[in-house]
Amino acid sequence: MKHNNFYITTPIYYPSGQPHMGHAYSSILADVFARFMRNDNYKVHFLTGTDEHGLKIQRAAEKAGLDPLIFCNKISKIFNDLTKKLNLSNDDFIRTTEKRHYRSVNDLWSRLVKSGDIYLSKYKGWYSVSDEAYYNENEIIEKNGKKVSTFSGSSVEWVEEESFFFKLSAWEKKLLDFYNKNDKFILPISRRNEVINFVKSGLKDLSVSRTSFTWGIKVPNNNKHVIYVWLDALTNYLSALNFPNTNDSLYKNFWPASLHVIGKDILRFHAIYWPAFLLAADIKPPNRVFGHGWILSGDEKMSKSKGNILNPLEIINTYGIDELRYYLMKEVSHGSDGNISLKGLENCINSDLANNYGNLCQRVFSFVKNNCKNKINKTNDISNSDKKLIDKTKLLTSNLRNEMNNQNLNNYIKSVINICFLTNKYINDEEPWKLKNTDIKKMNNILHLALEQIAKISIFFDPIIPNATTKVLDALNVKSQIRNLSFLDGNNIFNNEIKINDIEILFKKITQ
């Protein structure tokens, strides 16, 4: 991976309907990585946006009785508003109907023509509008009298039309070499194996233009064809860096992308087509594609067409954004699918946020306020139990960077919540309230260490629950220039005196 600069993207969303929890999940996951890398002193560029062309959007606009662009303006805004509601820290929001994107798609297309990777022929086969994907005959079955994709379950229609093709078959061996040389290009490892097996089973040339509808970017010098929406959409990652101006500082600083966060349903596009297009155009492929699992409702993927949507906005209004972010990141194992429910959310808020992290902060802050006038100094004495807590914390934190750099967010969260638990236990065992009249020095030392732990835990949790951690770090008067992970290299956050301010309740316990 590149040093210091980190370019991270979410998928750009189809503005064909209301955003749902699956969209929220993909975005929050990427946001957590972006915030972590910023806290680890990387210069981060975090991109999200909307994918506005193709038959799926054209049909959705027709159904709404609107011109496609007017339709997209309306729904793209809803997705853009969602970025604020989810507290995403994105640096840019790209729309594929923007001029900067047209310029970049045209240039990529021209490079592919120039390299001899594009030719004109005729496409005859199955197409899923819902997935905007072509499927082979062996990927289709009949279900309830309808032809559907075995891969996604979406219905497919037969297409026969003149089309430009990309010589994907010619890239089979080069892709396998590329995966071999870059063994962490696709994570988790199960997804990497899936992709390698698919490529090994043989790649067919890919239809990259359509002639039976008009809503898309026209093939340069050929008004009859619009560019296949996936070739168009994937290029957004370059467009946002002002490609084709390769001298632009954004491009120079941030390409190749460090991490594309995507759902497993769109892995083939990102892990096969995308590097093949880029290699053919003589552009470096991204460093990594991380394919997360699906959020399930019951046993099915949550999606508009299945009508089993949990609305993220309703959850945020009722429970709060940090609560939703934490639950999604903790409960859904990022490699595999995860079932979510309101009961699960409430249990998670109570056990981890209210009773563990929240309680730790609240009890220490109120004790320091009531007994120490909001000020703590320590001596240099370190007791055995202090040392034990410090050592265990060091052990739990030693692998945290590594976990995040490999997108093992579940392990990361487990370790941090474990530090909360240990710190609560340390306070229970040390009983500082009993020392008020007997050993003020020792009491202060205990509280000082507890506050140091709270500051560290808050910095670790900051990418996931940034509203709460900001309140805590503000109340601890931790200066912004040290609210980062430099302490992992051995320093403490506080020197000696710690002054605190009052803090409001962070997480309310949910009672039935």
Q: Counting contacts by CB under 6 A, is residue 458 touching ligand MSP?
A: no
Verify binding: residue 51, ligand MSP, rule CB under 6 A.
yes
Q: Which of the stretches 180-188, 214-222, 300-308, 314-322 binds ligand MSP when contact is defined by CB under 6 A? A: 300-308
Among 78, 289, 337, which Cα is nearest to 188's? 289
Q: Residue from 7, 13, 357, 460 that binds ligand MSP (CB under 6 A)?
A: 13
Beta-strand (E) ranges in 320-390? 338-339, 375-376
CB of 137 to ligand MSP, least distance (A): 24
Residue showing the smallest CB distance to ligand MSP in the complex:
263
* 295 in contact with ligand MSP (CB under 6 A): yes
Closest CA to 225 of 212, 244, 243, 235: 212
Nearer to ligand MSP, 245 or 308 (CB): 308
Q: Does 156 bind ligand MSP (CB under 6 A)?
A: no
Query: What is the rounded distance in angstroms from the CA atom of residue 286 to the CA atom of residue 19?
Result: 27
For 448, the token pair is 């000082």
| Closest CB 227 distance from ligand MSP, rounded Å | 13
Near ligand MSP in 394-423, by CB under 6 A = none
Which CB atom, from 11 or from 312, has the smaller least distance to ligand MSP? 11
The three-state secondary structure class of 273 is helix
Minimum CB separation from ligand MSP for residue 23, in Å? 5
CA distance 372 to 454: 17
- In angstroms, what is the minimal distance from the CB of 22 to ligand MSP? 2
Question: Rule CB under 6 A: is residue 461 a binding residue for ligand MSP?
Answer: no
Residue 391 to residue 401: CA distance in whole angstroms: 18
Residue (93 or 421) nearer to ligand MSP, CB: 93
Q: Which of 94, 140, 266, 400 binds ligand MSP (CB under 6 A)?
A: 266
Q: Are strands 295-297 and 300-301 parallel, antiparallel or unpaired?
A: antiparallel
The verdict on 49 binding ligand MSP (CB under 6 A) reads no
Q: Which residues pair with 160 in a beta bridge?
A: 124
Nearer to ligand MSP by C-beta: 234 or 447? 234
Torsion over CA: 11, 14, 15, 19 (sign): negative
Q: State the Cα–Cα distance between residues 384 and 252, nearest whole angstrom.
A: 52
Where helices occur in 21-144 by DSSP H, the ranges are 21-39, 55-64, 68-85, 99-114
Minimal distance, residue 60 CB to ligand MSP, in Å? 12
Query: What is the nearest approach in angstroms of ligand MSP to the Cβ of residue 412?
Result: 19
User: Which of 301, 334, 471, 483 touches ligand MSP by CB under 6 A?
Assistant: 301
Q: Cα(464)–Cα(433) distance, rounded to whole angstroms?
A: 32
- Whose CA is closest to 316, among 345, 295, 279, 274? 345
From 302, 348, 447, 449, residue interacting with ligand MSP (rule: CB under 6 A):
302
Query: Least separation, in Å, of the C-beta of 429 and ligand MSP?
Result: 42
Sheet arrangement for strand 218-219: 209-210, 222-227, 218-219
Angle CA(171)–CA(251)–CA(6) in degrees, nearest 5?
90
Q: What sign has the CA pseudo-torsion 459, 460, 461, 462?
A: positive
Asked if 466 contacts 322 with a C-beta cutoff of 8 angstroms, the reply is yes
Cis peptide before 68 (omega within 30 of 0): no
Interface residue with ligand MSP among 11, 216, 463, 466 (CB under 6 A) is: 11
263 touching ligand MSP, by CB under 6 A: yes
Q: Which of residues 14-43 bind ligand MSP (CB under 6 A)?
A: 14, 22-23, 25-26
Lookup result for tokens 């009672």: 511
Q: Which of residues 222-241 bind ligand MSP (CB under 6 A)?
A: 233-234, 236
- The site for ligand MSP, by CB under 6 A, has a size of 21
We find the least distance from the C-beta atom of residue 274 to ligand MSP, in angstroms, to be 8
Select 26 or 397, whichever has its Cβ closest to ligand MSP.
26
Residue whose tokens read 């995040």: 404
Of the candidates 303, 356, 393, 444, which one interacts with ligand MSP according to CB under 6 A?
303
Residues in the site for ligand MSP, rule: CB under 6 A?
11-14, 22-23, 25-26, 51, 233-234, 236, 262-263, 265-266, 294-295, 301-303
